[in-house]
Structure 1
């Protein structure tokens, strides 16, 4: 259980970093938020493509879907936080 949580956090960090790399420009979000949005993206990827394969191969569709979902979460998060900073 604990190893699964740690694995998810590490996977989320990688997905979050990859998501920020594919987006143009600089994103103004913290490392913690990068990991959180990456974990959310990873969960979306797993949800869309189902349970992980047990054949030892890399599931590229799940990775790509996770990165795209995390990138969308980063864009949404930035737009929401940018609106808040303008109104305050």
Structure 2
């Protein structure tokens, strides 16, 4: 997969994750991109554990959904860690 496509999917997954998770997230465009890219890796890892899953499948709708789910998981963990450290989100 091209790096440009990977970054585009990452930014889309990051924006959707931020829209789905309630509350205010003080993140810029770069942090949202990083969230989406890390979420893509987490989503790919989650999908690889499903029956018939591949470790790094090619670009497809299931991969995009997995990226969004992974980005939501990463964002929820990020919020929990920031809240626990005493910072407001």
TM above 0.5, yes or no, is yes
Larger Rg: 1
Runs of 4+ in 1 over 4 A off after TM superposition: none
Q: Contact between 1:16 and 1:34, CA under 8 Å: does it hold in 2?
A: yes
Q: TM-score, structure 1 length as denominator? A: 0.69
Q: How many residues align?
A: 79
Distance 1:30 1:17 in 2: 11
CA distance 1:28–1:82, change in 2 (3 Å): farther
The alignment's C-alpha RMSD in Å is 2.2
Give 5+ residue unaligned stretches, structure 2.
48-52
Would you tell me which structure has more helix in proportion to its own residues? 1
Q: Contact between 2:43 and 2:71, CA under 8 Å: does it hold in 1?
A: no
